[in-house]
Structure 1
Amino acid sequence: MSAPVADTFPPIVFVHGNGDTAALWLTTVWRFESNGWPRERLHAIDMPCPLARDDDGIAQPGRSSSDDARRCVADAVEQACRRHGVAQVVLIANSRGGFAVRNFVANDGAAQVSHAILGGTPNHGVWADAGFRPGNEFNGAGPFLQRLNAGHGDGDETTPGPRWMTVRSDGNDKYAQPDGLWIGAPGRPTGVDADGPALRGAHNVVIAGIDHRETSFGPVAFDAMWRFLTGRAPATLQPTPADGTIELSGTVSGLHPQAAVHDNLPLAGATVEVHATDPATGERVGAPLYRHAVGSDGAWGPLATDSRTPLEFVISAPGHGTTHLYRSPFARSSSLVHLRAMRLADVDADADADPAADRDALALVQLSRPRGYFGVPRDRILLDGHPPAGLPPGVAGLSLAAVKVTDTAGRAVAAEFNGERIVGRAWPCADGHVVLLELHS
């Protein structure tokens, strides 16, 4: 077990995973704040192009190499050290973000890191097969991971210097499975199993039942992080709601201009409008709380609101649809309310297997869980009054569920997930509207 961190609360830099954004750390940051870690010392970074290349050595529009990701971490660490006048930071990463952390530490970054925590990082690959996508960053038999796992003469796979911890599931991580189902190769042995994220030389934590993203963003993973950093239990595992006014802000991104993938680059010219909504109906309440056309930095906000009001964010941008994002009340202030403009063509429409419903759909409403996956029968999930179609039982591996509205466009659609409830409106597909009910949990 690591020694407690000094009472000065070192800066923490959070690194997201493949295709994700810094916004996924929102509730984790709230948990740290709620236990006394100063908000100004918690930094979640965005990879500009967060998706890994198909082959790490071949340039690909809208995607990043392992070295691109390493440089992002290096820049963020340098900025945090300079801003706070410290020599070292803590790094906490999810999934692919752990590759970037390990790569940075292994390449002259060890002296700048006191602790490194890797949640769900597939340290020995999502697959380990020299004959299957050999140049991919996630191939445990490929050059990138072979180099990182080569060892340091003492049998350890961790770079000396920082104290290391990994967090993994006991068998519910979609990217630590012996069968290739979740990489599009069902029936093909991957050569990895649930132990894949563990590292020799690290404090390796196993948490029963959690999924790939919950290894970083769930409350039990937070408990492990806090104990590793401080040597004691946290006072609370859930964010403490703030009294009075809170402020929300973030950035707007969209589709990469040269590729049909979402990135984290600023989407200049997008318009953000925010409405308070009725918690029972999803209807807008009063005039817009906020409206702004974002500039070249993609920034929106701040919006002043409170921790009791559900919100609808409306994002409009050239080349995209009109995106309606419904959220339950925000417990605390945050600058990580990052928004993505979407197109209806990019929405997963496989909500059911009825062709007639496809033809007759007036609206499509998606339930999104960015900080975890839907587990059946592990979780209680209702969308428009019913368990969503298309969620397979067993290993939790889907973070989107959808319902096609065939009776009345514009009506209320409610979602419930393990106690969190969101109500939105079924905006019509015919006008290019994209509707998401996004969970905090």
Structure 2
Amino acid sequence: MKLSRRTILQGAGSLPFAIASLRTGASAQSAPAAAPGTEVPPILFVHGNGDYDALWMTTLWRMESNGIARDRMMAINFTDPNARSDDKVEQANRSSTEDQRRELAAAIVELKRRTGAARVALVGSSRGGYSIRNVIKNGGAGDVSHAVLCGTPNHGVFATDDQPNNEFNGRGVFLRGLNEGESEVTPGIAFLTLRSDGMDKYAQADGRFIGKPGTPTGVTNEGPELKGATNLVLGALDHREVAFHPRAFREIYKFIAGREPDRISIRPEAKVTLSGLVTGTPGGVPTNRPVAGATVEIFRTSEDGFRKGDGLHKSQTGADGRWGPVQVDPTWTLEFVLTAPDAPITHIFRSPFPRSSDVVHLRPARPFGPADAKAHAVAIMSRPRGYFGLPRDVVLFGGEEPKDVKSGVPTDSATTVRRYSIDAFGSIVAQFSEERVAARLWPAEQNRIAVAELTY
């Protein structure tokens, strides 16, 4: 059988991946991927809209498991990760395209200084790809060897004649500036785009995912592709998974290193040290600004989510918002208790950490709302590195498939369970595919909320 422009790629994990295509634009001017045997350049990871550097934790672990030294990698934490509605008009706790370009340029300088390298590889998720392209187009091309854009809406989330200053508008000022010319990439830099085969909620022809059902968006599933880049389709992965899934890791590593990774799985360490940052949501907008005066407590938990033994750690954040370090066993499940100003006491339950990390960031849950008023206990199941896809995934919370997760294109990364009985304070199990997180329920009247946070 002849395979020219269509290639079947093996799926990692348990998802039923479909045929994927590898296409290079006819006018490609990008540099080839690194030749086998050459040194892997330092890598800078760039998160997306509303996100933070902690989302790259599993990618960093996989890179380390393939011999990439941790000090040759960096993940930027944008101060204000959410975009403005109008890029030219200031909004509290939101950033412009220029804000992000400036912060990323400074991070590139720092990684080059730290490693002594002449050029670095940039890997971006979603909006992070905008700042990468902006840096490259506006003076930073000589500092960059590779640009990997994962789910970046390169031709917009929508493309209309209104909202010309919205950076997500494919016909707006910002994206027209990035996409002008016959080729949409910069010569001398190897460009790779990774996208979903129809399961990315921000690359849809219908506007239902941006609040305009039945209205054409003017974009298609192919929106993340760039003329002149190597464009790879990763099957049934969603908008976030095309950056953080094992399948995505394989393609990112192979493109930058010029060879297949030795392993996809994460190699555990004998001793694990954790630390991180406490951030908040001033005015209801998530930021990566440090929160001072927050208390972080850590406990080892049993299979039912209840505490096992004495506390492992307790500290209060200073002006830098940092907590830790704490040493744990790579087989322990953990409960992080975050007490922060003007927020519920948040009990975050996590799977074991197989390797050390300094990006175990904590952000308190949102305050209780009207829907929580009569609940004795409230629990959230959160998947930061992907969405819940029904019927694509096995998703169970408290033994049931969540009723607030929509079927079809994966859209939701969190689901909530409310218990109304005085006997509600047992445990609840969050199950996603093969990852299982047990959480203890806490009384809502004490302003406490439980979060079962998935790692994978």
Among candidates 297, 306, 329, match of residue 273 of structure 1: 297
Alignment of 1:48-67 (within 5 A): 48-67=79-98
Match of 2:48 in 1: 17
Alignment of 1:421-432 (within 5 A): 421-432=436-447
Match of 1:145 in 2: 175
The CA distance in 2 between the partners of 1:7 and 1:332, in whole Å, is 27
Residue 344 of structure 1: how far off its partner (Å): 2.4
Question: Is 1:437 aligned to residue 447 of structure 2?
Answer: no
Match of 1:223 in 2: 250
Among candidates 362, 387, 391, match of residue 373 of structure 1: 387
Match of 2:194 in 1: 167
Alignment of 1:115-194 (within 5 A): 115-131=146-162, 133-151=163-181, 155-194=182-221
Q: Which amino acid aligns with 1:204?
A: N
Among candidates 287, 297, 321, match of residue 263 of structure 1: 287
The CA distance in 2 between the partners of 1:64 and 1:265, in whole Å, is 13
Residue 434 of structure 1: how far off its partner (Å): 2.3
The answer as to whether partners of 1:4 and 1:229 remain within 8 angstroms in 2 is no
Match of 2:3 in 1: none
Question: Is 1:340 aligned to residue 371 of structure 2?
Answer: no
Q: Which amino acid aligns with 2:90?
A: A
Q: TM-score, normalised by structure 1?
A: 0.94
Question: Is 1:402 aligned to residue 416 of structure 2?
Answer: yes
Q: Which amino acid aligns with 1:374?
A: F
Residue 34 of structure 1: how far off its partner (Å): 0.9
Give CA deviations for 1:183-237 in whole Å, capped at 9, x if unaligned: 1111110000110000011110001100000110001111111111122211222
The CA distance in 2 between the partners of 1:216 and 1:25, in whole Å, is 9
Q: TM-score, normalised by structure 2?
A: 0.91
Q: Which amino acid aligns with 2:266?
A: P
SS at match of 2:368: helix
Match of 1:354 in 2: none
Match of 1:247 in 2: 273
The CA distance in 2 between the partners of 1:304 and 1:411, in whole Å, is 28
Residue 364 of structure 1: how far off its partner (Å): 1.1
SS at match of 1:345: coil
Q: What are structure 1's unaligned runs of at least 5 residues?
A: 351-357
The answer as to whether partners of 1:268 and 1:298 remain within 8 angstroms in 2 is yes
Match of 1:283 in 2: 306
Among candidates 409, 424, 430, match of residue 415 of structure 1: 430
Q: What are structure 2's unaligned runs of at least 5 residues?
A: 1-31
Among candidates 399, 407, 415, match of residue 393 of structure 1: 407
The CA distance in 2 between the partners of 1:273 and 1:359, in whole Å, is 27
The answer as to whether partners of 1:322 and 1:432 remain within 8 angstroms in 2 is yes
Q: Which amino acid aligns with 2:94?
A: R
Give CA deviations for 1:49-80 in whole Å, capped at 9, x if unaligned: 00000110000001000000111110100000
SS at match of 2:404: coil
The CA distance in 2 between the partners of 1:5 and 1:402, in whole Å, is 47
Residue 16 of structure 1: how far off its partner (Å): 0.2
The CA distance in 1 between the partners of 2:448 and 2:432, in whole Å, is 24
Residue 360 of structure 1: how far off its partner (Å): 4.1
Among candidates 320, 325, 332, match of residue 343 of structure 2: 320
Q: Which amino acid aligns with 2:356?
A: S
Match of 2:99 in 1: 68
Match of 1:383 in 2: 397
Question: Is 1:100 aligned to residue 131 of structure 2?
Answer: yes
The answer as to whether partners of 1:379 and 1:417 remain within 8 angstroms in 2 is yes
Moved more, 198-207 or 224-233: 224-233
Note the aligned Cα RMSD (angstroms).
Answer: 1.4
